[in-house]
Structure 1
Amino acid sequence: MRVAIAGAGAVGRSIARELIQNGHEVLLIDKEPDSIKPERVPDAEWLLADSCELSSLEEARLDRCDVVIAATGDDKVNLVTSLLAKTEFGVPRTVARVNHPNNEWLFSEAWGVDVNVSTPRIMSALVEEAVTVGDLVRLFTFRRGNANLVELTLPADSPYVGQPTGLIPFPDNCALVSILRDGQVYVPDVEQPVESGDELLFVCPEDREDELEMLLAPEEHR
């Protein structure tokens, strides 16, 4: 997979290293000469250019990219980069960094953003996930699929403790994708029972979240 990353700061370089380690081709783009440091990520391609300029993106051959990541520290730049990548070059997948929480509503398909990554939201979700039992915590939003990745820690008084997952009447379109238990990750099958304290990860539409929460933790939400 070929990935272009706009923004060669600490965030962009970290993403590049991870992707290269996983076998992907990476192009780092930045308009600041001081940010062009090929020795920091020697296996990446580097381009001194403004990702908000159409001519720069043509030079970067964005039409050959599978993913564009807008990872600069400027929300305006990330939005414009995503929009150009999607509308002018038909990039299949765009991921944009949200720096200011008040701007999160802008990072949508209307601006060419398939996935937005808000550090404040992720951090708050992780805090909630660490301390709540029986409450549904939204971890991630899939823009294209109109669904969320959500987590619920199963309380001891759940009516489904000890029940196999195949016998639990999950709401329509809600899929249990993983069970976290005692530091281990389990891929659920229909015969596997859930236990008190299990962290259950679901992909679930927003309009089914309350129903899922009431199903698994009714005493906490009466």
Structure 2
Amino acid sequence: MNMRIIVLGGGMVGLHMLTSLRDDHQVIVVEKRQDRVDELKEKFPDADVLHGDACEPSVLDAAQVAGADVVAAVTGDDEDNLVISYLSKFEYGVPLVFARVNNPKNEWLFTPDWGVDEAVCSASIIVQLVQEELTLGEMVTLLKLRRENLMVEEIQLEEGNAVVGRTIRDIPLPTKTLVATILRDRRILIPRGDLTLLAGDKILFISEPDKVEELRKLLGLV
């Protein structure tokens, strides 16, 4: 799924997101330091890099934030990231808003009330979700599960794992654990009971945190 991703903040975190995602998605970077804008444009001549203060609605208009699938507020200032998140969610209706937390003491502020769907300490979680080729709806669902104290555990099966060659219905999963989906050869499979698991399958489990260790033991991973 090709997405329009607006990265607000062109520092090291913004640079990481640009280099990781630009080949498969439309990535627009907004940075208020002119020298940094010039540096990014020199390094990536074909990249969309805009100069401006992302806390200003006129700058967000120029970046066409209203048409974004994902906004990542990753400046080095927590106050700016909160303002950007609030505007992106409530003024522009962006479906998924990530915000970088620079000072751990401020993490309690980064909530849905401020328009933040997920507070992160780095860009890694955003890059990982996008690179896993999840749809926007799937990303939102995963983040909601995290807030409801449910773990999303992705496990790739290998030859020799205890469940390889068995059907889903034959696997004695821990209580309050379910198979959400299976990725096989870049295809998403519905986890029906008669589906036989193969080496190489990526399985997405949803479970309570205290069941994850039991699940990994069942699969022969510990």
- TM-score, normalisation: structure 2: 0.65
How far off is 1:61 after superposition?
1.9
* Aligned counterparts of 2:46 and 2:121: Cα–Cα separation in 1: 28
Q: Corresponding residue for 2:117?
A: 114
- Aligned counterparts, 1:45-194, within 5 A: 45-119=48-122, 142-145=142-145, 146=148, 147-150=150-153, 164=166, 166=168, 167-170=170-173, 171-172=175-176, 174-175=178-179, 190-192=195-197
Q: Corresponding residue for 1:131?
A: none
How far off is 1:102 after superposition?
3.1
Q: Corresponding residue for 2:210?
A: 210
Q: Gaps spanning 5+ residues in structure 2: where?
A: 126-140
* Aligned counterparts of 2:49 and 2:100: Cα–Cα separation in 1: 20
* Aligned counterparts of 1:63 and 1:191: Cα–Cα separation in 2: 44
How far off is 1:62 after superposition?
1.0
* Aligned counterparts of 2:103 and 2:154: Cα–Cα separation in 1: 25
* Aligned counterparts of 1:201 and 1:162: Cα–Cα separation in 2: 12
The CA RMSD measured in Å over matched residues stands at 3.8
Aligned residues: 186
Aligned partner letter, 1:191: T
What SS is found at the alignment partner of 1:90? coil
Q: Corresponding residue for 2:26?
A: 25
- TM-score, normalisation: structure 1: 0.65
Show structure 1 runs of 4+ deviating over 6 A.
151-154, 160-163
How far off is 1:54 after superposition?
2.1
How far off is 1:209 after superposition?
2.4
How far off is 1:67 after superposition?
1.3
1:12-31 Cα deviation digits (max 9, x unpaired) = 12211222211x22221111
* Aligned counterparts of 2:10 and 2:176: Cα–Cα separation in 1: 42
What SS is found at the alignment partner of 1:52? coil
* Aligned counterparts of 2:22 and 2:156: Cα–Cα separation in 1: 34
* Aligned counterparts of 2:76 and 2:13: Cα–Cα separation in 1: 9
Q: Corresponding residue for 1:36?
A: 37
* Kept after mapping to 2: 8 A contact 1:29/1:48: yes
| Distance of aligned partners of 1:72 and 1:212 in 2 relative to their CA distance in 1, 3 Å threshold | same
* Aligned counterparts of 2:108 and 2:143: Cα–Cα separation in 1: 12
* Aligned counterparts of 1:14 and 1:64: Cα–Cα separation in 2: 22
1:9-48 Cα deviation digits (max 9, x unpaired) = 12212211222211x2222111111211211222222221
Q: Percent identity?
A: 37
Q: Gaps spanning 5+ residues in structure 1: where?
A: 123-140, 155-159, 180-184, 195-199
